[in-house]
Amino acid sequence: KSGITKAMNLLKEMEGRGGKRRLPDDVRVDLYSIINVINALAKKAMFDKTAPKMIESVLSSMEQRYLDGETDLKPNAMCYNCCIDAWSKSGVDDAEENARRMLDRMSTMSEKLSAPELKPDTISYTSIITAISRRKHSDGPARAEAVFATMMEAGVKPNIYTYNNIINCWASSGRKDAAVNAEKILMQMQEESDKGNTEITPNAITFSTTISCWARQGDKGSGEGAERILDMIESINARGDTSIKSNQYTYGAVINAWSKSYGHSDTVMRAIGILDRMEEKYVNGNIHLRPNGPCYNAVINAIAKSSSKDKAFLAKSMLDRMKKSHENGNEDAKPDMRTYSTILNACAFTFIEDQAEKEEVLQIARQALKEILNGSDAPAFVFASFLLACSRLMGAGTKRDGVAQVLFNECRRRGVVDVKVILNLRKMASPECLRQILKGSRVPVGNIVLDDIPQEWRSNVKSRTPRFR
């Protein structure tokens, strides 16, 4: 920021508008100097919210001096585009409005100066769409497509960045039809590209944003939609075009989409199928498809959220597969906190009647908790999940009460007692055991909020919890 300030001060001195020094008469501002300052300010816009206004100030001075007869200071399209881009990236609430205002100003100056080269161009309109996408509003796609329509009416050709930002508007809109529309735009781009319009050939960002859009959708069609895009990438590769390649993140996003395909009857097997496909390609030499932790974790998450009665055993099987991959040299496949906490969640929501199987599931949960406690600081939800698992898998009695007492004491010692911990403790411990555990505290019997829990018990709890019953 200090460098920008120095540049602005020097520019003012060169313009004779102040500063600490008076420069020689033959030292004067030129177009090159101004463009350098504008460019430097535009690059700082994401970090310095005052940058766009500073660019406007420089532009205003530039415009006035040109109108006053300094013909070598005629603003060019790049100057205005830098200002529009700076507003679009600034992150301020009225970024889009200010970017649009500068677009209008650009058009006005083009007419005023009879300078067709100052008319808004591809960069100008694309920057407006970028500003829209950053706001993440549900009406973003409609506003972006309105800008696109204006752009086309003006005879300005869109490029890959224009289309990618429109797709991003859909991806960040939160709308239920976002993924379908994002994919529709992708298909239109591919069709145009196949006809010879290489300016809008979909790139890695296009495909990854569309896949992520499907993953965010979180409905029955998410996995199928994301996998369809992956198949499209690999179909392009099969034709000999390797400009776009799938990697571990692409596959991970597809697996994640399958893990969120709520309501689909085959979520788990399809997620595992993508992982199988990934591992096979990696074994056959594609180093870019080495499965990483998030890929395995997404499959385990799909298992944990499924309705399968065997979810705990399936999750454990995937954990073993992950460990084997790590032992075989895949450093990216090391199980982490998310892995074991998801295993715990699978155990807590495994509903079975056979007591021997319950004991097996409980043993899986115990081992997962042990791994977490050995490796890092365990957050409250880990203890809450294990308490819930025990309440469902252990028979009532003194043994279960004893485990509840030990668990809660450890949780309290670590300062991670939150509302969920108390709620699940109520499910696990007998009334008498619960009274003994909470004796001396003011934790209520009914409704509870985080502030009801003694401060020393919750000193390491990260966030507040709403009232639960």
pLDDT in tens, 91-140: 898 999 999 999 999 999 999 888 999 999 999 999 999 999 998 899 99
**What band does 7 get if pLDDT is binned at 50, 70 and 90?**
low
Question: Which residues are CB-neighbours of 380 under 8 A, at least 6 positions away?
Answer: 411, 416, 417, 418, 420, 421, 461, 462
pLDDT at position 50, please? Answer: 85
Asked whether 314 and 268 are in contact (CB, 8 A), the reply is: yes
Asked whether 109 and 66 are in contact (CB, 8 A), the reply is: no
State the average pLDDT for the chain. 89
pLDDT (mean) for 203-225:
93
Q: How far apart are CA 459 and CA 440, in angstroms?
A: 18
**What band does 280 get if pLDDT is binned at 50, 70 and 90?**
very high
Q: Which of 62-66, 71-75, 184-188, 375-379 has the least mean pLDDT? A: 375-379
Does residue 8 have a pLDDT over 50? yes
**DSSP per-residue letters across 398-460:** HHHHHHHHHHHHHHHHTT---HHHHHHHHHHS-HHHHHHHHTTS---SSSB-GGGS-GGGSTT
Question: Which sign does the torsion angle of CA 184, 188, 194, 199 carry?
Answer: negative
Among residues of the chain, what percentage have pLDDT more than 90? 70
pLDDT (mean) for 63-75:
87
pLDDT (mean) for 241-268:
89
pLDDT at position 277, please? Answer: 95
pLDDT at position 15, please? Answer: 55
- The pTM is what? 0.80
Q: Which of 58-72, 297-311, 339-353, 447-461 has the least mean pLDDT? A: 58-72
Does residue 28 have a pLDDT over 90? no
Does residue 252 have a pLDDT over 80? yes
**What band does 12 get if pLDDT is binned at 50, 70 and 90?**
low
List, for residues 284-305, the tens digit of each pLDDT value.
999 999 999 999 999 999 999 9
3-state secondary structure of 89: helix
Asked whether 206 and 252 are in contact (CB, 8 A), the reply is: no
Residue 417: HSE in the Cβ half-sphere, 13 Å Cα cutoff: 26
List, for residues 148-192, the tens digit of each pLDDT value.
999 999 999 999 999 999 999 999 999 999 999 999 999 999 999
Asked whether 286 and 299 are in contact (CB, 8 A), the reply is: no
- The one-letter amino acid at 364: I
3-state secondary structure of 468: strand
pLDDT at position 33, please? Answer: 78
Question: Which residues are CB-neighbours of 356 under 8 A, at least 6 positions away?
Answer: none
List, for residues 427-439, the tens digit of each pLDDT value.
999 999 999 999 9
Does residue 393 have a pLDDT over 60? yes
